Chain A
Amino acid sequence: MNKNSAIRKDIGKNIIDTHCHIGNTPYVSQTAEELLDEMDSLGVSMAVLCPMGANIVCKNQEGNELISNAIKKYPERFIGFASVNPWFGKEAIYELKRSINDLGLSGLKLHPPMQGFQANERIVFPVIEEAIQLKIPIYIHSGTPVFSLPLQILELSLRYPEGIFILGHMGGADFFLDIPLSFNRVSNVYLETSLTCHPVFVSEAVNKIGADRLLFGSDSPTSQIKAELEKIKVLNFEEEVLNKILWGNAYRLFKI
């Protein structure tokens, strides 16, 4: 098999990768430029940047500024998401407002296991309410028991019907099974495809919940954009569905 056969040519150049990271952890690291190289090699036009590692857990200001600098340097290519740890209370609210109003970021990323809370518990409510005030989408990592299971995020989205939520990784591996029969009951949750471990999970989400709710993402650098695109490509979706997943829904969500 040709190593370079990954991407079908007719997928086009409008792909938006709705979940990437820059920064570092003890296991992975990535700069904005490294990510741009990978995007360019695959025809990915834009990517959503999130902080990673300590910048999610505690050094939120530093991470949000790193993201801000990258989107200011490459405004045509990147959309920035801020991360704030809800346990910082009023400081978290302040930092979220600063990130959106002053730093130019346009979404909130929460990572319950790294930030130490259960996705639908009280500590996160003020942050969710602020994100709703700011009219920004809220991305929440999912798939990790006991902190971030899909049904906890479903409950949160029912509590806050005016919020726009993105279910990161669609439950990851085994907890995808919680999704197909339950998430069609809400209309304010998008499903993001990175790390969900099998192509058929994506097609099942399209069948049961609808192509309008899917967002392509890679979680680069933990996964490769190339491999994550391959996961979508092997499903042989009709063009309309493919376009929605790879960029159409993201265009609408981010008002591009």
Chain B
Amino acid sequence: MIIDAHCHYFSKNAKLDFVQGSSIEDHIRNHELAGIDKFILFTIGGLFSDFIKSNDEIAEVANNYPTKIIPFGTINPWYEEESLEEINRCIKDLHFKGFKLHPWMTGFPINSDLMDTMMKEISKFNVPVIVHSGTPPWSEPLQIAELAYRFPKVKFIMAHMGITDLWKEAIDAARMCNNIWLETSGVPSHPIKLAVEEIGADRIVFGSDSPYGGQGGHIFQLNKIKFLDLKEEDESLILGKNLSKILDINS
């Protein structure tokens, strides 16, 4: 089973004119074309606007495709009271399976008191948190590692594993904290291979960051992994088995 750890839902209030194929039907079709069975879906607009409304939108589309979509919520730690409530609503009422955080887009430092308050609440539930990484000054791998160190029971997925500049640091962060998994969208080929050698394929998860890649983005991100010619078992861990375990999905 192939599971995509990283997809955004573009609601009407958040459109980038160059990103095509962002409707939910496009998501379903493009994933099917690429042979991807399930995908984690969270908002884009809610990362910089009304996160509560955006979480409702995710719940609605996820209910329409329950076998395909694994819904994640988001919060904004600057709205402390609302976010603490929203964490509970996302898990208990909307049945979300985790949270997405995007420090530079939302506008907060990831390893701060603000986040500690949020993480104390999130850690009451056994759900993973996926965090954008690779962009200074607020989403650097070692900053995420500091948060992961303080909340060792929470599973952190480091989106983009440091992207183009901070992949060395991302591998180091995952070595420091065994509650960090590295997600492959956006990062070049060699760092993924190096991560397999250094921290093991059981700590790496596939993601596409769709629809940012455009309509062929899923295929490109997936083939980037396949072209590495990894051992079959390692490839299957990265493409789905690790996420199945993190999310407690029976395959």
Q: Is the CB of B214 within 8 A of A200?
A: yes
Task: Point out the residue from B20, B136, B165, B227 that lies within 8 Å of A6, measured CB to CB.
Answer: B227
Q: Which residue of B lies closest to A194 (CB)?
A: B188
Cβ–Cβ contact A172 & B216, under 8 A: no
CB neighbours of A221 from chain B (8 A)? 190
Instruction: Verify if B109 is at the interface (C-beta below 8 Å from A).
Output: no
A174 to B16, CA, bound (A): 14
A66 at the interface (CB under 8 A from B): no
In the complex, are the beta carbons of A236 and B165 less than 8 A apart? no
For residue A69, which residues in chain B have a CB less than 8 angstroms away from its CB? Answer: none
| B226 contact from A1, A145, A203, Cβ within 8 A | A1
Does any Cβ of B come within 8 Å of A28's Cβ? yes
Q: Is the CB of B217 within 8 A of A227?
A: no
B108 is an interface residue with CB less than 8 A from chain A: no
With a 10 A CB-CB cut-off, give which of B185, B188, B215 has the most chain A CB atoms: B188
B162 CB, nearest partner CB in chain A, Å:
10
Contact code string A188-209 (vs B, CB < 8 Å = 1, else 0): 0000000101111001100110
B151 lies within 8 A of chain A by Cβ? no
CB–CB B217/A230 < 8 A: no
B contacts with A: majority SS:
loop
The count of residues in chain B whose C-beta lies closer than 8 Å to any C-beta of chain A is 38
Smallest beta-carbon distance B105→chain A, Å: 9
Q: Are B227 and A3 in contact (CB under 8 A)?
A: yes
Q: Name B64-111 residues within 8 Å CB distance of A.
A: 104
Residues of B within 8 A of A219 (CB): 188
Partner of A222, one of B163, B188, B215, B217: B188
Q: B19 at the A/B interface (Cβ < 8 Å)?
A: yes
Is B213 a contact of A198 with CB atoms below 8 Å? yes
Instruction: Please classify the interface of chain A as helix (H, G, I), strand (E, B), loop, or mixed, using the class held by over half of its residues.
Output: loop
Please determine whether B136 and A173 come into contact, CB atoms closer than 8 angstroms. Answer: no
Q: How far, in whole Å, are A113 and B228 apart by their CA atoms in the complex?
A: 28
Check A197 against B168 for contact (C-beta < 8 Å): no
Closest Cβ–Cβ distance, residue B172 to chain A (whole Å): 12
Asked if residues B214 and A203 are in contact (CB atoms below 8 Å), the reply is yes
State in angstroms the CA–CA spacing of A203 and B228 once bound together.
25
In the complex, A91 Cα to B105 Cα: how many Å?
A: 43
Interface residues of A (CB under 8 A from B): 1, 3, 6, 27-28, 113, 143-145, 169, 172-174, 180, 195, 197-200, 203-204, 207-208, 219, 221-224, 226-227, 230-231, 233-236
Residues of B with Cβ closer than 8 Å to A?
18-20, 34-35, 104, 134-136, 160, 163-165, 168, 185-191, 194, 209, 212-217, 219-220, 222-224, 226-229
25 A-B pairs with C-beta separation under 8 A = A6-B223, A27-B190, A172-B163, A172-B164, A173-B186, A174-B135, A174-B163, A197-B164, A197-B185, A197-B186, A197-B187, A198-B214, A199-B213, A208-B18, A222-B190, A223-B188, A223-B189, A226-B227, A230-B219, A230-B223, A231-B220, A233-B216, A234-B216, A234-B219, A234-B220
